[in-house]
A and B are shown apart, each in its own frame.
Chain A
Amino acid sequence: MENACKSVLRDRHVLIVEDDALVGIGLVNCLEEIGAEVSWTSDVGSAIIAIESTSLISLAIVDINLNGVRSDPVLDELIARNIPILLCTGYDSSFIGDRYRKILCVAKPFTRNKVIPIVNELIAIDPDSVISVNGTISQ
C-alpha cells in the first residue's frame, strides 16, 4: 500500500488548507512520509495566493471551515483549475453547499489508513474526468 502510494505521490505537490495547527501538522507529516511535497495554508487569502503561485498542484485537501470563514472561494478557484479536491470537515455533509456535493468529503479525524488510499485514488484519477464519488470511496 505504502509503496504504491509513494510512486503516486513522489514529487507531487499537495496543498493543505487547514486552520487548526495540530490537525495540519498531522496531515503534513502523513503526506510527507509518503513522498509528497506539501504546502500548508490556514486561511482563504493565503490559500488562493498559494494556488496562483504554485504551478502544478496534484491535489488539495481543504477544510470547509477556516476559523469560522467558509472556504468556498478556495474551492471555486481549485475547481476552475481542475485540481482534484478532498474536503475535510467536522460538520456533517449538510454543511457543504449543493455546489460542492460532487467533491469527495472525509470526516475528521484523518487517520493514515483513511487518508492514504483516498489520496492515492484521487491523484491517480485523470484531472479532466469527473469525480462522482458520493461520501465514501469504493476500494
Chain B
Amino acid sequence: MIWRAVGNGAWTWSSPQWMQYTGQTSQDSNGAGWLAVVHPDDRATAQNSWEIAETIGEFHADLRIQSQLGNYKWFQTRGEPLRDDAGRIIEWIGTSTDVHDLRQLQAEQRILVAELQHRTRNLIAVVHSIFVQTLRGCESIDMLRDRYEDRLAALSRVQGLLSTSEHEPIKLARLIGMELDALGDGQLASQVLLSGPDTVVRSSTAQTLALAVHELSTNALKYGALSNRNGMLTVAWEEYDKNGQPWLRLTWRETGSEVPHELLSRPSGYGRVLIERALPQQTGGQTKMHLNASGMDCVITLPLRQFHEEALHGERV
C-alpha cells in the first residue's frame, strides 16, 4: 500500500490497495484521516514517528491497521522524503507492508525460546540431582565416574525419545527395549521376554520411568538374572481401568538365575530412591519391589493420563 504526505504526516494521496484494504476513500485518508484506521494504541507511536521524521530523514513505524472487515493487522510503515534542490523536503512517499504473519511467528518464537530455557534449566537440575544422588553411594572417584556416566547415558537416551515425542508418541516397549539393548550391547535377546499392548507413555512419566528401568536393568546385569546365561527376565505390562481412568501395571520378574540367594541384590541408594520414591511421586502411582528365591520382582503401577489432561480432554469433547 503506497501513500504520499506532506509536513508531519498529512496525507495527500493513498493507493487503491489502501482504499481496498481499509475501506477508506482518498478523501477519508487525507490529512490526518488515515489515523482513524490505525489501532488506538498505536496512534501515539505513529504521531511520535512523524515528529522525528524530518530530523532523522525517514518515517518508520510498525502499526496495526484496521481492515474494512474490522480486524487489525500489523503493517510496517516506512516513508522517504523527496527534496528540492536546496534539500528542503517537498513531500513524503511511503509504503505500508503487511508483516502480520511475521509478527505472529516472532511472538511464537519468543514463547518457544522461553520454553526451551525452562526445559534446559530443568534438565540441568536433573543432571545435578543425579550427580548428588550418585555421589552419596560412591566410595571412589572411579566408581563415581562409572556410575555417573552410566546414568547420564540413560538420561541422554530418554531425552532422545522425548525430543521427537511431539510427532512420535513414546511406546513403552521401545523405552524398555532401548535400555536393555544399550546395557546388553544387543546380546540379551535370548534372555529377555517383553510382552504387553501398544502402550504409550506420557512425556512427563517417560524420563523417570526410563531411568527406573535403567536401574532395574543394571541391577539385573550385575547381580540378577542377566548376570549369567541361564537367567530369564520377563517384563510384562497391561492396561487396566481404575475408577474410570486407564492405568498401567508393569511387572518385572527375574527367574532362573544361578546367583546364590545371599548374593542376589536389589537396587539400593539412588536406584532404590528413584524406583520406590521418585517414580510414584512423579506419576501418582505405586512401586513394589522385593527379592524372591529366584531373583528380583518389581511391580510398577501408574496412571496413564493426568487429571488435568483428562479435564482438558473433557472440555474439548
Interface set of A (CB-CB < 8 Å, partner B): 19-26, 29-30, 40, 42-43, 45, 65, 67-69, 89-92, 95, 107-112
Contacts and interface: CB of A to CB of B under 8 A. Distances in A.
B83 to A, nearest CB: 44
Contact of A65 (B118, B120, B124, B130): B118
B52 to A, nearest CB: 29
Contacts of B307: 43, 45
Interface stretch (B6-14, B18-26, B142-150, B274-282): B274-282
A21 B282 contact: yes
A20 B119 CA distance: 11
Interface string B124-140: 11111110110000000
Nearest to B126: A22
Interface in B267-310: 273-274, 277-279, 281-282, 284, 306-308
B208 interface: yes
Interface of B: 114, 117-122, 124-130, 132-133, 204, 207-208, 211, 273-274, 277-279, 281-282, 284, 306-308
Given A25-B129, A67-B306, A92-B114, A20 B122 contact: yes
A90 B122 contact: yes
B121 A20 contact: no
7 contacts: A20-B125, A22-B133, A22-B278, A24-B278, A30-B132, A43-B307, A91-B121
The 4 residue pairs across chains A and B that have the minimum distance between CB atoms: A26-B129, A90-B121, A21-B282, A21-B278
A21 B125 CA distance: 11
B151 to A, nearest CB: 10
Contacts of A29: 132-133
Contacts of A89: 118, 121
B121 A107 contact: yes
A68 to B, nearest CB: 8
Contact of A90 (B119, B128, B273, B274): B119
Contacts of B117: 90-92
The residue in A30, A65, A109, A112 that gathers the most chain B C-beta atoms within 10 A of its C-beta is: A109
B114 A91 contact: yes
